[in-house]
Amino acid sequence: MGTTTDPTNTDESAIDTYEVLIVGGGVAGLSAATFTARASLDTAVITAGESILKRNAHVENYPGFPAGVNPRLLIDMQRSQATRNGADMVHGRVTRLKHVGTADGDLDVSDDARFLATIAGDADTDADAAGNDAAGDAGSGATAATDRTIAAERVIAASWADASYLDPVDPDRREAGSKTYLEDDGDGRTTVEGLYAAGRLAERYHQAVVAAGDGARTAITLIHDAEIPFYHDWVAPEGYFTDRGREVPPGCEEVSETERRARERESIAAMQEYFATPHEDRQRTHPSLVDDDLGRVPGTDR
């Protein structure tokens, strides 16, 4: 963060400033966060915590899970991946995004900040929404927020197809029934400089793998626009580049065999923990079908 303060601070005279603010911690937003954080951009994800994927009963077409995966676990793992790579999580709903302006008076905002996001903490005390996950990674950094403001140099909108919080910056949009989609250049840039879109809000196909890929694509577009030296986000075995007389390109890493084995062992332990027991959260359905704001189906606790 450009300006470091207590993340629960609501004193608007000290505004946290991130290089990248991501609105929406669903499939697209968490994928984007993993890429921007790994590119060493200060990244925060503001999320209301309710990826639509949580309504799925069992995800059977996401790569890497031959027998499928619990959708709530998949979101937990994605969130943990983003935080392990350095992204901060803030639990809340962005109610307004505006440009930094003269009317902001004596707010202490970094000179580099383009946007100010107003974030309302909501009453949802659902454990997974607050950032706990199957591997006990409450340290995924989610912070229950009351109303607060966060500044950002760049913003990726990866929320649901309701863009009303973007009214003050007024990107080009397309209305389709009750949904609003942001127009973009195909690589995630909207018509507002510094504002990007990913996932459903960018009207991509309604599939998790597409949303994840789109989050990555938008993040890489942003990384290039930020002029961060970047070739690819690759981890290669020691010597892959250097033994051919090449420098390790920016964004890439070479790891020794010892380090590779250590990382593999860590990944095995983490996945064993994630998959040790069934996920504890209730099945979701469409909220119109049950008497529960989040669509939690009664009697589905484990």
70: nearest Cα among 212, 198, 208: 208
Choose one: 20-28, 146-154, 171-179, 233-241; the region binding ligand FAD (CB under 6 A): 20-28
The correct pick among 46, 100, 220, 222 for binding ligand FAD (CB under 6 A) is: 46
DSSP state of 281: S
How far is Cα 111 from Cα 50, in angstroms, rounded to an integer?
33
206 part of the interface to ligand FAD, by CB under 6 A: yes
Q: Which residue has the tokens 């959708």?
A: 71
83 to 102: interface string for ligand FAD, x by CB under 6 A: ----------xx--------
| Residue 55 CB contacts under 8 Å (≥ 6 apart), including other chains | 71, 284, 285, 286, 295
When asked if residue 296 is in the footprint of ligand FAD (CB under 6 A), the reply is no
Q: Contacts with ligand FAD: how many residues (CB under 6 A)?
A: 32
Q: Least CB distance from residue 211 to ligand FAD, whole Å?
A: 3
C-alpha to C-alpha distance for 24 and 97, rounded to whole angstroms: 13
Nearest alpha-carbon partner for 30 in 71, 111, 85, 70: 85
In whole angstroms, the minimum distance from the beta carbon of 25 to ligand FAD comes to 5
Conformation bin of residue 110: beta by default, left when phi > 0, alpha when psi is -120 to 50: beta
Report, in Å, the least distance between residue 19 CB and ligand FAD.
Answer: 18
Q: Does 207 bind ligand FAD (CB under 6 A)?
A: yes
Here the tokens at position 124 are: 């949802």
DSSP for 107-127 reads ----TT--EEEEEE--S---T
Tell which one of 15, 59, 150, 220 touches ligand FAD (CB under 6 A).
59
Give residues with Cβ within 8 angstroms of 193, minimum separation 6.
Answer: 114
Cα torsion angle, 182, 185, 186, 189, sign:
negative
Residue 213 one-letter amino acid:
G
Asked whether position 159 contacts ligand FAD by CB under 6 A, the answer is yes
Report CA torsion sign: 50, 53, 188, 20.
Answer: positive
Is 120 a residue that touches ligand FAD (CB under 6 A)? no
User: Residue 110 Cβ, how far from ligand FAD at the closest point, in Å?
Assistant: 22
Indicate which single residue of 15, 20, 22, 23 sits in contact with ligand FAD (rule: CB under 6 A): 23
> What is the per-residue binding string for ligand FAD in 221-260, x denoting contact by CB under 6 A?
----------------------------------------
The nearer residue to ligand FAD, 56 or 241, going by C-beta atoms, is 56
Determine the residue with CB nearest ligand FAD. Answer: 26
Among the residue ranges 4-12, 51-59, 96-104, 262-270, the one whose residues contact ligand FAD (CB under 6 A) = 51-59
Q: Which residues bind ligand FAD (CB under 6 A)?
A: 23-29, 46-53, 55-56, 59, 61, 93-94, 158-160, 165, 199-200, 206-209, 211
